[in-house]
Structure 1
Amino acid sequence: MRFIAIMYSFLMLNFSGCGQEKKENTSHPNILFIAVDDLRPDLGCYGNTIVQSPHIDKLASEGVTFTNHFVQVPTCGASRYNLLTGMRPKTKAQLSNEVIYNEISNQPERANPESFIHHLKRNGYHTVGIGKISHSADGLLSDYNEKPSDKRELPYSWSELLFDSGKWGTGWNAFFGYANGENRQSLHNKVKPYEAGKVDDLGYPDGLTTQLAISKLKELKNQNKPFFLGVGFFKPHLPFNSPEKYWDLYQNDAISISPYPEIPQNSNRESLHDSNEFNQYTRTDEIPNRENRVSDAYAKKLRHAYYASVSYIDHQIGMILSELKALDLEENTIVVVWGDHGWHLGDQKVWGKHTLFENALKSALIIKVPGTRIKNKKSSTIVETVDIYPTLMELCNVNMPHKTDGKSFVPLLHGDPMPLTESVAYSYFNDGMSLRTEKYRLTTYFRADKTQEYELYDHTSDAPETQNIANDHPEIVQKLVPLLNKGDTGLFNK
């Protein structure tokens, strides 16, 4: 009898422990965070009837699609710095692609975490990075033409940092890679800005990233700690390369050009640029700039290439989400798909990012939170990239003793309204600062001749950024300037 009593106590103790572990994992859900480079909200779930993105659309049907998500800075490195730190730029140096390297990479570990991933790691999460989450293509410090480094761009954030550079050899070579194993650097920019490769999904780096992610999910399934898995895809960043089968999804004639292909009326041409990043690909068929836009035929070809890249990544995301479900992990895993900024596809005569217009600042953001009653919801509430940090911490029940510039939008993920505050977004680049409200975009530029000027665009219009109405409606500008000034971080005083 004594033996039976001891065994009963032992079994009850173990069952109790299992229950506690399950409860702990539920209160600290896993996170699958998918960062997609240069992903503007051109997806089926955002209303684009041409783009084929069934897997992302399915995710959207199970969660919340944010139709007014705006980044702080329309360039890769700086936008990811805002994501990782939850902070707006405070100096002009923080508008640079090198900001993570300059302000995080070579610093000692401090009381405040270097990133929200670091904070999760400090709070018991196993953190894994695959691909481009920070600015570096593989998470390691090296320039485009340098040999691979063993130094991490985020020194303290990752429990594991993984990447398969395949036939390209290094992260940056893979980032600008072509199907034959060459890259933009090795070919000295004498390349086209697009390619339909006669290869399967593994013929480009993002397919290798998917393989790694699926393999790692199988390992993470068997550990007791909650995990953060960051997966960073390269496409649809230039060059617009993808396997030929994704090009074959589209008919060129069915693709339309931008509805806003001209520089907005009454705007300053200095507010835009000559598509310099795009024109680095010197074997481009045509060279766009502020004087000349490309032909309609070439504009369709480039959009075709961009859409094919999006469909390629959509399929990779679908395979990862399928594996998440097969492993019975989706019921306790938050899934985020985030575009690091938008992209002008010939809009306002620009091919690229790097402007303070809507096309460069609005990006995709889709979040699925397990266990919520909200499905297939589109939220038009304005949210910002800096808001993602505090939102994830609240969802994961992780305390934040430090402050960020962002605010949690968890109520929106549960179908509740946000507290009654002004819903706005602030963005910054070069010599300008922009405010987005529900109705308007007001941007101020500090020009080289020391003058300050405003551009105002009406987003209640069917053609919202085709005409600067600041001179016609000074009363609206005057009303919005105090709100714009609330976003002034002192950036232009330093």
Structure 2
Amino acid sequence: MENKHSLPTALHHDERRSLPNTARNRKRYDDHLLGKPAANETRYFTSISALLFRSAVQRQSPSNPRQRCFDRRILIASDPLFRSTDDCTSPWIAQRQYNAFPRGKPLAFAAPARLLSPPTPSHRNRMRSCLILLVLLSIQGLTAADEVQRPNVLFIAIDDLNDYISPLDNHPGIQTPNFDRLAERSVNFTNAHCAAPACHPSRVSVMTGVHPATSGIYRNLFGAHGPRWRHESPVLLNAIVLSQHFRNHGYRAVGGGKIFHTLQWTAGDSQNDPHAWDDYRGDPLNPIAPDWPRAKRIPDAKTGLTKGRPLNAQLFGTAVIDAPEDSYGDHLVADWAIEQLQAEHTQPLFLAVGLFRPHIPWEVSQRWFDLYADADVQLPPHQTNDLDDAHDHGRTHWHQWVIENKQWPNFMRGYLASISYVDHQLGRILNALDESPMKDNTIVVLWSDHGFHIGEKENWEKFALWDQTTHVPLFIHAPGVSQDGQSSQQAVTLTDVYPTLCDLAQIPIPDQCDGTTLVPQLRDVSAKREQLSLTSFQFTNEPIASHAVSDTRYRYIRYGNSFEELYDLDSDPNEFNNLAGTAGHVQIQARLAAHIPTSAAPDRTVPKDSSYNRKKNQ
């Protein structure tokens, strides 16, 4: 608010004591002491200079008159219209006005009625030193102002979430109002794919920007406590984690929940890098509440259903949890995220939130199961002998167990209930953001580490290269940049997230990144990309990778044994008909095959214990 009734406080206290307060008396004082001011010439200073001026004039004057005079000269060092004088009581100080103004607005000063006497050499040297100091402080002030204005980042990772949500595939009957809400306020990348169809390699690729074909990290890595992936891959040894990169450029980086892969509640494993964060909820190497999953609550053990079940009773199942929802791991992580959004921050914030559901086991409270009555649950499209012209993924025994025990509808219901539960947690976080002062200056990105099969192509979980496994949600909201509420159909890989966030925050993109920025698509969803999506995986301990490439219509897969698949997703979204090698598709197949890596890095995740059967990916 403009303050026209106050004078600079650098006046000596005796002068201030006798100074009239009203605007009318102020004018009389000026006319009497200085004569009527010259024409209303104004000079403008930047907001930073004005703030420095305010800071300087409000300092308490020292007792030494000569030092007090020198301090006053600091105030005029940057204004050539004013000149120094040995008279420390010169009345020009009383005539200079400054207006309190919002940040970023110019500051107007009344022009002096007359020029004062030229400075002496000693005074000139002092003024030169003060001017240098003022410039340095201005640069520092500009840097500080830039830090405040940098966008915050809300980075949400969800585990095992496929494209069933309503903004994507829209599985019949799915209820995900908060994903719909996020889609309305962001760009929905409807053709996004993970870099690897497993938790560990996918998350490492997102957090480093390095694709598995470059790093050699293709599969889940077990038996580690900390970022063992750094030491398994020479490429990743000195890679800068996304959160660390933002820390290096003035951000406060905090995380909670599952960002890197963690199985500490079953195998004692966690792949998080504790040095990449300023703070992490609880223990960065134990980020998920220890009560997940609640195996003892699964009733199947009493009925004998666990006999012959893949994995074990602890993981591959679904059940109603009767504990209070505020004790659930995801609820606690969301509580923590809400606290971060409500807190005051002196630095721009990079907030990473990892939600565990809908990862197996599908255990949530009754109200989420009630959304999906047994009679209304629809199974995914499937056909007999679907694998006759496709790769044998080695997990048909899972599907056989589900069919024999009549669990397919039950498991589908559990998965849908878990999606609605995590949708609710997302809504709580979005509500907190909407009520936060950071609302209008926060980038929001939400992604899933990979898709998920609920019996499609006789497969369960992930660990495949079909669209159902690799297709993931990806939403990005960038204030003032993104065409919110619209969709881009361009092929995207999750390794594009790292450079995109750097681009939006205007910080350098590290050379390590394999992806490319999505800012052109955020600005214009119709903008084309030359890049195709690339997903890589290894199905056996043989050091040969398999790859899948997608454009806006076709999907091409080449396995390590040279078997090929080609699907037209426009006419065959369920990938029932393999077109590889068929007439009329030779050129399309050759075009996509040209994007398959010719020298993929060798597998760095082969377990040293050869007795561990990685082929089953369990």
User: Match of 2:220?
Assistant: 97
Query: 2: distance between equivalents of 1:325 and 1:179?
Result: 38
- 1:9-20, aligned counterparts within 5 Å? 13=54, 19=104
Instruction: Give the structure-1-normalised TM-score.
Output: 0.82
Distance 1:109 1:217, change over 3 A: farther
Query: 2: distance between equivalents of 1:133 and 1:266?
Result: 37
Q: Does structure 1 residue 218 correspond to structure 2 residue 342?
A: yes
Distance 1:22 1:373, change over 3 A: farther
Q: Does structure 1 residue 161 correspond to structure 2 residue 280?
A: yes
- 1:303-322, aligned counterparts within 5 Å? 303-322=412-431
Query: 1: distance between equivalents of 2:233 and 2:163?
Result: 35
Q: 1:471 is aligned with what amino acid?
A: G
1:445 to partner: Cα distance: 1.4
Q: Does structure 1 residue 454 correspond to structure 2 residue 564?
A: yes
Q: 1:52 is aligned with what amino acid?
A: Q
Query: 2: distance between equivalents of 1:33 and 1:154?
Result: 16
Moved more, 345-354 or 325-334: 325-334
Q: 1:443 is aligned with what amino acid?
A: I
Task: Give the secondary-structure state (helix, strand or coil) at the position aligned to 1:129.
Answer: strand
User: Match of 1:282?
Assistant: none
User: Match of 1:39?
Assistant: 161
- 1:432-471, aligned counterparts within 5 Å? 432-447=546-561, 452-471=562-581
1:194 is aligned, of 318, 340, 343, to 318
1:101-145, CA deviations, whole angstroms, 9 ceiling, x for partnerless residues?
3333799999964212111110011000101001126xxxx5834
- 1:236-255, aligned counterparts within 5 Å? 236-255=358-377
Q: 2:550 is aligned with what amino acid?
A: R
Query: 2: distance between equivalents of 1:202 and 1:160?
Result: 23
User: Match of 1:288?
Assistant: 399
Query: 2: distance between equivalents of 1:393 and 1:339?
Result: 20
1:337-377, CA deviations, whole angstroms, 9 ceiling, x for partnerless residues?
11110001110111110001000000111111223462211
Task: Give the secondary-structure state (helix, strand or coil) at the position aligned to 2:240.
Answer: coil
Contact 1:446–1:453 (Cα < 8 Å) also in 2 = yes
Q: 2:229 is aligned with what amino acid?
A: E
User: Match of 1:284?
Assistant: none
Q: 1:444 is aligned with what amino acid?
A: R
Q: Does structure 1 residue 131 correspond to structure 2 residue 257?
A: yes
Q: 2:376 is aligned with what amino acid?
A: A
Query: 2: distance between equivalents of 1:481 and 1:109?
Result: 30
- 1:232-381, aligned counterparts within 5 Å? 232-264=354-386, 266-271=388-393, 273-274=395-396, 288-289=399-400, 294=403, 298-372=407-481, 374-381=483-490
1:320 to partner: Cα distance: 1.1
Q: 2:346 is aligned with what amino acid?
A: N
Distance 1:49 1:485, change over 3 A: same
Distance 1:438 1:444, change over 3 A: same
User: Match of 2:173?
Assistant: 50
Instruction: Give the structure-2-normalised TM-score.
Output: 0.67
Query: 2: distance between equivalents of 1:336 and 1:327?
Result: 17
Contact 2:165–2:176 (Cα < 8 Å) also in 1 = yes
1:198 to partner: Cα distance: 1.7
Contact 2:579–2:585 (Cα < 8 Å) also in 1 = no
Gaps of 5+ in 2: 1-5, 12-49, 56-99, 105-141, 539-544, 604-618
Query: 1: distance between equivalents of 2:217 and 2:436?
Result: 40
1:191-243, CA deviations, whole angstroms, 9 ceiling, x for partnerless residues?
46111112332232111111111122222xx1221011101011100001111
Task: Give the secondary-structure state (helix, strand or coil) at the position aligned to 2:276.
Answer: coil
Q: Does structure 1 residue 122 correspond to structure 2 residue 248?
A: yes
Task: Give the secondary-structure state (helix, strand or coil) at the position aligned to 2:503.
Answer: helix
Query: 2: distance between equivalents of 1:181 and 1:462?
Result: 38
Identical columns (%): 28
1:260 to partner: Cα distance: 2.3
Query: 2: distance between equivalents of 1:105 and 1:226?
Result: 31
Contact 2:504–2:519 (Cα < 8 Å) also in 1 = yes
RMSD of aligned alpha carbons? 3.5
Moved more, 29-38 or 98-107: 98-107
Query: 1: distance between equivalents of 2:520 and 2:287?
Result: 42
Query: 2: distance between equivalents of 1:361 and 1:172?
Result: 28
User: Match of 1:79?
Assistant: 202
Matched positions, count: 459
1:6 to partner: Cα distance: 3.5
Q: 1:29 is aligned with what amino acid?
A: P
Query: 2: distance between equivalents of 1:115 and 1:369?
Result: 21
Task: Give the secondary-structure state (helix, strand or coil) at the position aligned to 1:461.
Answer: coil
Task: Give the secondary-structure state (helix, strand or coil) at the position aligned to 2:389.
Answer: coil
User: Match of 1:5?
Assistant: 8
Query: 2: distance between equivalents of 1:156 and 1:79?
Result: 20
Contact 1:330–1:370 (Cα < 8 Å) also in 2 = no
Distance 1:493 1:208, change over 3 A: closer
Contact 1:70–1:425 (Cα < 8 Å) also in 2 = yes
Moved more, 384-393 or 246-255: 246-255
Query: 2: distance between equivalents of 1:108 and 1:344?
Result: 33
Query: 2: distance between equivalents of 1:117 and 1:489?
Result: 31
Task: Give the secondary-structure state (helix, strand or coil) at the position aligned to 1:434.
Answer: strand
Contact 2:387–2:457 (Cα < 8 Å) also in 1 = no
Distance 1:180 1:465, change over 3 A: closer
Distance 1:111 1:153, change over 3 A: closer
User: Match of 1:176?
Assistant: 293
1:29 to partner: Cα distance: 0.4
1:477 to partner: Cα distance: 4.1
Q: 1:211 is aligned with what amino acid?
A: D
Moved more, 256-265 or 66-75: 256-265
Query: 2: distance between equivalents of 1:126 and 1:258?
Result: 43
Contact 1:459–1:465 (Cα < 8 Å) also in 2 = yes
Distance 1:343 1:477, change over 3 A: farther
Greater RCO structure (CA 8 Å; 6+ sep): 1
Contact 1:86–1:404 (Cα < 8 Å) also in 2 = yes
Query: 2: distance between equivalents of 1:314 and 1:367?
Result: 17
User: Match of 2:511?
Assistant: 402
Moved more, 8-17 or 56-65: 8-17
Query: 1: distance between equivalents of 2:394 and 2:530?
Result: 28
